[in-house]
Structure 1
């Protein structure tokens, strides 16, 4: 794995920054760097080493009054509890409000399986429907960059739609199926799946529904031009009248 040398390097950096061997053991990851999202901050480890900070390296089990109890039995009195529980990525709330052309709610379709999309932007059986920052489009980069690439793709589709007199388009079933097979095959080789950690990229079945297995450059290339060959297309009906000169009456 390409990231293993970096893993060794950053562990050396960590030893240089954290001097207490007990704390060092608590904060040293047991997985490959990049398996979870990286934290870019210069004050994180210094903050952990201040006198008024205690690191408990176990999950929270319960709360009794103003005491938190960790899964290893550690008890700690606190004044404030901040719930950093994140958000629901595997089952996005928007799915509750989207019904496809077969009358199926996306939340029902995705209830027992991971969300799927084409280039994180188009959903099967949802005509003219676009999704921003959808399944398997996340890479180590700014969400703004990802959104900009998707917006270019969407705008290009609308321009072509207008120019070609198209009323409705839907991603082809074989196209989206092939795309997701390729994504899931390639993503097995990435640190997200092989790095040895459990992250929000993986659902309860261990399937990676979130990450893009290639580079941002490749994603931008794929989203640079909207190709209607990937879609089932329906055109507006055109009505035209042919004007035929009636024969002149011969007197």
Structure 2
């Protein structure tokens, strides 16, 4: 007979979102919670993404929690190992690790409307009972492999950037990288320095801007230990990144400046005119995620590196064949093809009121009220849910207010003697309809991208406004928005 373990809160995922929720729960006085993490360690995307050169693409001072600043960053754009180590320190400092069950995957979560609680099952056939269920898997969770004929028959080493083998030595290898997005821009140069030959397969050119990176020296770190200085630096970077948001709006000074910077960057780093032409995007700046890199363009000019823009027709056991009929023999295939950001939580069955599953509710694409709650799924809270991604600033600026809002809902249920809380269906639908109307007129609607359902459908990833607008929308729980049972 399966023993059911009761908790006030069950959190899915021990990435940045799950860690933030855990710390804020403890600071609120809620200690009865458990985090279920499928990987053997803390970090979420920073545990998964261990490819060479992995780093965050926003300045590190805004990629630390407001309640746990990190004065010891080594660089302005921190590396993946450095971020994972920071998360470990935060978890230890706030006594979170004792709440985490690693190597545990949730397979099913079902809401019992009679009791106002969630029953959650794991791949070990354990059962948990919780009043509140927090899903903090985020959009960068499920690796997406390219749909190319023959890929499963490739006989050499096959790697995905989000499932990197740390033992993989590419020295002297003939390597192919499929993809030229933000992940590829980070790993191409480190791989090229080791590989005998590197073929980079590009489907679409990307907008690339300089990365204002530098090493932090002893004085920087000494100053960062002074709270007023650290707070001022963080605030300054927030303002800089928010100003960059205007670059997505046509006709703005910020947009003209970004276009000019991108053109100069390409001109300076790629002397060959023919190669520059192949690296010039044919869609508006900002429609896809912008790349910030200082070594991606130069790596493509090295003699051992080839940029391939012909379409891939198939993969054989030892080579890649392109539309021009050419066959390139390779030893290692690297897929820097991103994540499935549309089919969120597809690896588990989440069932709400009336037996309706989240998969059914999201048949036309994922949607949530302010990215946090879903109509028909009481006491369920999403972290970095639909339409909370941002193309201009740190996701942590969205994660923290989302956690605060979810906890405020939990406290309202507890303090009011209620069983559950759910967003009202008319409010839920009106919010998402208004969101899609705004997005339909934005730069993100002008090309295919991972921001959109099936590449060219509804925009399900991005929030169209500035950070302050999103934060204001979560600052209070309006009685007209939520129904308490």
CA RMSD, aligned part only?
1.9
In structure 2, C-alpha distance between the alignment counterparts of 1:46 and 1:149, rounded to whole Å? 39
- Bigger Rg, which one: 1
In structure 2, C-alpha distance between the alignment counterparts of 1:42 and 1:14, rounded to whole Å? 10
In structure 2, C-alpha distance between the alignment counterparts of 1:219 and 1:95, rounded to whole Å? 28
Asked whether the equivalents of residues 286 and 444 of structure 2 are also in contact (C-alpha less than 8 Å), the reply is: yes
**Helix, strand or coil at the partner of 1:81:** strand
1:203 equivalent to 2:453? Answer yes
* 1:95 to 1:127, Cα distance in 2 relative to 1, 3 A: farther
Asked whether the equivalents of residues 259 and 285 of structure 2 are also in contact (C-alpha less than 8 Å), the reply is: yes
Aligned counterparts, 1:60-79, within 5 A: 60-79=312-331
Q: Determine the structure 1 residue equivalent to 2:150.
A: none
Residue of 300, 308, 315 corresponding to 1:48: 300
Q: Determine the structure 2 residue equivalent to 1:177.
A: 429
Residue of 33, 37, 61 corresponding to 2:289: 37
Runs of 4+ in 1 over 4 A off after TM superposition: none
Residue of 446, 471, 479 corresponding to 1:220: 471
In structure 1, C-alpha distance between the alignment counterparts of 2:382 and 2:317, rounded to whole Å? 43
* 1:216 to 1:2, Cα distance in 2 relative to 1, 3 A: farther
Asked whether the equivalents of residues 58 and 72 of structure 1 are also in contact (C-alpha less than 8 Å), the reply is: yes
- C-alpha displacement of 1:2: 3.6
Aligned counterparts, 1:93-132, within 5 A: 93-94=345-346, 96-111=348-363, 113-132=364-383
**Helix, strand or coil at the partner of 1:151:** helix
* 1:59 to 1:222, Cα distance in 2 relative to 1, 3 A: farther
Q: Determine the structure 2 residue equivalent to 1:244.
A: none
Q: Determine the structure 1 residue equivalent to 2:441.
A: 189
Per-residue CA deviation, residues 32-69 of structure 1 (Å, 9 max, x unaligned), is: 11111112221111111111110012342211232212
In structure 1, C-alpha distance between the alignment counterparts of 2:384 and 2:323, rounded to whole Å? 35
Asked whether the equivalents of residues 122 and 171 of structure 1 are also in contact (C-alpha less than 8 Å), the reply is: yes
Asked whether the equivalents of residues 95 and 107 of structure 1 are also in contact (C-alpha less than 8 Å), the reply is: no
Q: Determine the structure 2 residue equivalent to 1:242.
A: none
| TM-score, with structure 1 as normaliser | 0.85
Q: Determine the structure 2 residue equivalent to 1:248.
A: none
**Helix, strand or coil at the partner of 1:82:** strand
Aligned residues: 231
Consecutive unaligned residues in structure 2, runs of 5 or more: 1-249
- C-alpha displacement of 1:97: 1.8
Higher strand share: 2
Q: Determine the structure 2 residue equivalent to 1:240.
A: none
In structure 2, C-alpha distance between the alignment counterparts of 1:58 and 1:2, rounded to whole Å? 34
In structure 2, C-alpha distance between the alignment counterparts of 1:7 and 1:110, rounded to whole Å? 36
In structure 2, C-alpha distance between the alignment counterparts of 1:94 and 1:224, rounded to whole Å? 30
Asked whether the equivalents of residues 409 and 421 of structure 2 are also in contact (C-alpha less than 8 Å), the reply is: no
Bigger mean CA offset, 220-229 vs 27-36: 220-229
In structure 1, C-alpha distance between the alignment counterparts of 2:369 and 2:309, rounded to whole Å? 39
Q: Determine the structure 1 residue equivalent to 2:161.
A: none
